[in-house]
Amino acid sequence: MAFPTLNDIKFALIRIKSFIHRTPILTSSAINQIAGCEIYFKCENFQKVGAFKARGAANAVMKLSEEERAKGVATHSSGNHAAALARAAQVIGIPAYIVMPSNAPEIKKKAVRGYGGEIIECEPNLMARETTLEKVVKETGATFIPPYDYMDVVEGQATCALEFLDDQPDLECLIAPVGGGGLLGGTALLAHYWDPEVKVYGAEPKGADDAYRSLKAGRIIPQTNPQTIADGLLTSLGDINFEIISRYVKDILLATDPQIIEAMRLIYERMKIVIEPSCAVPLAGLLANKEQFKGKKVGIILSGGNVDLGKLPF
Amino acid sequence: MAFPTLNDIKFALIRIKSFIHRTPILTSSAINQIAGCEIYFKCENFQKVGAFKARGAANAVMKLSEEERAKGVATHSSGNHAAALARAAQVIGIPAYIVMPSNAPEIKKKAVRGYGGEIIECEPNLMARETTLEKVVKETGATFIPPYDYMDVVEGQATCALEFLDDQPDLECLIAPVGGGGLLGGTALLAHYWDPEVKVYGAEPKGADDAYRSLKAGRIIPQTNPQTIADGLLTSLGDINFEIISRYVKDILLATDPQIIEAMRLIYERMKIVIEPSCAVPLAGLLANKEQFKGKKVGIILSGGNVDLGKLPF
């Protein structure tokens, strides 16, 4: 498997630069005091569409040939990738077909439609999603852009760590949440090229710990019946990302839901920023493993801020 | 009445600079589209103690003589000024005595104690607050630093607009919330010195519109029985601030509670930042008076982010 090189990732950043924000890095002396280390937060909750997913989707769409572009892009997702792909397509004026389960929240559908995406509803199960997507692709000739297990998407997500280490070169550790592994894979790859001494950690809810178990087992163990508030991290690891993560990630930090909620509250109260539950998992994982990070300079990627404000867990 | 000069305000900023954040200015293309103008948000919710009040308190404390400092400072407040004064005193290592009603929320007391302030509880009425404060001042010799009707506090709050116009010199209008009027007074004064063409507006909840009524009447009409979610804006205008505001503020924009909640939600959802209800009043006032601001460059001061997350109105 040929991974993107450092140059590939640098070119990806140039490619998508005018379509995304270079997100700010924030710090909180109050949280540093609690954590016993120096934390830098890369705020992808301020990213376009409210999540890092804007990077991978933009990169994948921009890399299509002219012929492919003309036919548009398609995916199945009810999360941030759906909105990110719809927006990336809108920016360059091509159609985006988004297969969504019929029971997806209205707010998610509204976001996709707001970016000009065409929603195709299907029964709320994986089989229906896949067959519906297949049908859409057949009919339209659109290119399927998967949410994470796709090289151009991973390359795009890697631009986040590139900006991060460029702005804050003295980081000793990086922590990213892990669901399908696109962000963690991209982060680990970039950090490895940047400086193999930078330790990269994934952070995962205890109730959806397939990456943790897969890494221990040395093979992908699919996630079944995930139980966690971190609803962006329910999926199983992708093949590409498993390859990268098993090579370049030092460890997966686990956090329970109460720990995730506590970390989420800390970020709202002390940093005054809005994040989604999945986004609090790295801080929760760090706080659950304080001694490992004592006195270190740690970079945390805050992955997104799309949360139903009526359902905050506090 | 001798108001602080432009030089006084510039010196105040130098005086307090190392004790406060130079807060960032954020924009949101989504909100601009809704508003029909170009809005710049000065984020005092990211300020030390989570509110602009850190400025006035720091300035007042730093201006005390050495003799006065030795005896400490005192105030009665259950809001952001209490925490701001306790912190300012802690920074220079002097005592702060904070008179608080016995029914003040535990979280407010905790904040004051967290900054090393000494809380003196009293019955929850204005009379008890004043007599208790008087007693504390008599016994300790501490200097009373009022929350808004105090020249050094107004001078400190004015540093916010100084930074704002320094970073974004092409603003045509400024909007600040108005309760006691310290922030609006300081903003109006600074804008007047900076460029009298910059129009300054106050923004006030309809359910606590004493500044609006006072300005129309040409005299202070005290606020009685305020009814609004914007709990930082319940107080009546101070004398000093009434003087400044009646000279230099163009108008007071009013907003109903549903409009305030809607603006608050917009800021959470679109900007991904945490603000308190009072802080949403300027955007609510602007949206209720869109035609006045059409196509203009408008600066809004986001005053603070100290909100009970368990009681968000959505």
Q: Please report the pLDDT score of residue B60 as a whole number.
A: 98
Q: pLDDT tens-digit profile of A131-143?
A: 999 999 999 999 9
A contacts of B115 (beta carbons < 8 Å)? none
Closest CA to B123 of B99, B106, B105, B145: B99
Dist. CA B43–CA B301, nearest whole Å: 7
Q: Cβ contacts (< 8 Å) between A265 and chain B: which residues?
A: 309
Residue A3 is predicted with a pLDDT of 97
- CB contacts under 8 A, B 217-256 vs A, are none
Mean pLDDT of chain B: 96
Asked if pLDDT for residue B42 goes beyond 90, the answer is yes
Segment B135-154 shows an average pLDDT of: 98
Chain B hits for A305, Cβ within 8 Å? 272
Chain A partners of B265 at a C-beta cutoff of 8 Å? 309
What confidence score (pLDDT) does residue B209 get? 97
The mean predicted confidence, pLDDT, of chain A is: 96
Compute the residue count for chain A: 314
| Closest in A46, A265, A309 to B314, CB measured | A309
Residues of B in contact with A45 (CB under 8 A): 272
As a whole number, mean pLDDT of residues A36-45 equals: 98
d(CA A226, CA A206): 9
pLDDT tens digits, residue range A254-307? Answer: 999 999 999 999 999 999 999 999 999 999 999 999 999 999 999 999 999 999
Instruction: Name the residue among B77, B252, B229, B268 with its Cα closest to residue B177.
Output: B252
Minimal Cβ distance to A50: which of B24, B272, B314: B272
**Long-range contacts at B29-33 (CB < 8 A, ≥ 24 apart):** B30/B270, B31/B266, B31/B267, B31/B270, B31/B271, B31/B283
C-beta of residue B249 within 8 angstroms of C-beta of residue B295: no
- CB of B65 closer than 8 Å to CB of B55: no
Band (A34; pLDDT cuts 50, 70, 90)? very high
Asked whether the beta carbons of residue B275 and residue A272 sit closer than 8 angstroms, the reply is yes
Does A206 have pLDDT greater than 90? yes
By Cβ distance, the residue of B272, B310, B312 closest to A305 is B272
**What does the pLDDT read at residue B1?**
85
Residues of chain A neighbouring B271 (CB-CB closer than 8 A): 46
Q: What is the mean pLDDT of residues A14-38?
A: 97
Using a CB-CB cut-off of 8 Å, the residues of chain A touching B314 are: 309-310
**Chain B nearest CA to A269, separation (Å):** 8
- Domains, in order of start, for chain B: 6-51+150-311 (3.40.50.1100), 54-144 (3.40.50.1100)
Chain A residues in contact with B268 (beta carbon < 8 A): 274, 309
* Contact with chain B for residue A93, Cβ under 8 A: no
pLDDT in tens, B260-296: 999 999 999 999 999 999 999 999 999 999 999 999 9
Residue of A nearest to B302 (CA): A272
Instruction: Name which of A24, A50, A268 is nearest B274 (Cβ-Cβ).
Output: A268
H/E element, A285? helix A281-287
Tell me how close the Cα of A40 comes to any Cα of chain B, in angstroms: 16
Q: Is A265 on the interface with B (CB under 8 A)?
A: yes
How remote is the C-alpha of B72 from its chain's centroid? 23
Asked if B268 is an interface residue toward chain A (Cβ–Cβ < 8 A), one would say yes
Supply φ then ψ for residue A87, to 5 degrees.
-70, -45
Which residues between 273 and 312 in chain A have a beta carbon less than 8 angstroms from any beta carbon of chain B?
Answer: 273-275, 305, 309-310, 312
**Between β-strands A297-302 and A173-177, what pairing exists: parallel, antiparallel or unpaired?**
parallel
Per-residue model confidence (pLDDT) at position A105: 83
Dig out the tokens for B110 from the structure.
Answer: 């905790």
DSSP state letter for A98: E
Structure tokens at A17: 């630069």
**pLDDT tens, position by position, B232-264:** 999 999 999 999 999 999 999 999 999 999 999
Helix (H, G, I), strand (E, B) or coil at B35: helix
| pLDDT tens readout for residues A73-89 | 999 987 899 999 999 99
Separation between Cα atoms, residue A25 and residue B56, nearest integer Å = 27
Residues 19-48, chain A: which have Cβ within 8 Å of B?
Answer: 24, 45-46
Q: How far apart are CA B12 and CA B157, in angstroms?
A: 9
- Rounded Cα–Cα distance for residues B41 and B298 (Å): 9
- Say yes or no for a CB contact (<8 Å) between B272 and A272: no
Which chain B residues have a beta carbon less than 8 Å from that of A274? 268-269, 272-274
Q: What is the CA radius of gyration of chain A?
A: 18
For testing contact with chain A, the best of B274, B275, B276, B311 (most A CBs within 10 A): B274
CA A285 to CA A30: how far, in whole Å?
A: 18
**Which residues on B lie below 8 Å from A87 (Cβ)?**
none
Q: Is it the case that residue A52 has pLDDT exceeding 90? A: yes
Nearest CA in chain B to A273: B273
Least CB-CB distance to B309: which of A50, A269, A275? A269
Tokens of B125: 């009425």
At residue B78 the predicted structure's pLDDT band, cuts being 50, 70 and 90, is: confident
Strand partners, B73: B96, B143
Residue B111 or residue B68, greater confidence:
B68
User: What are the tokens at B262?
Assistant: 């809607």
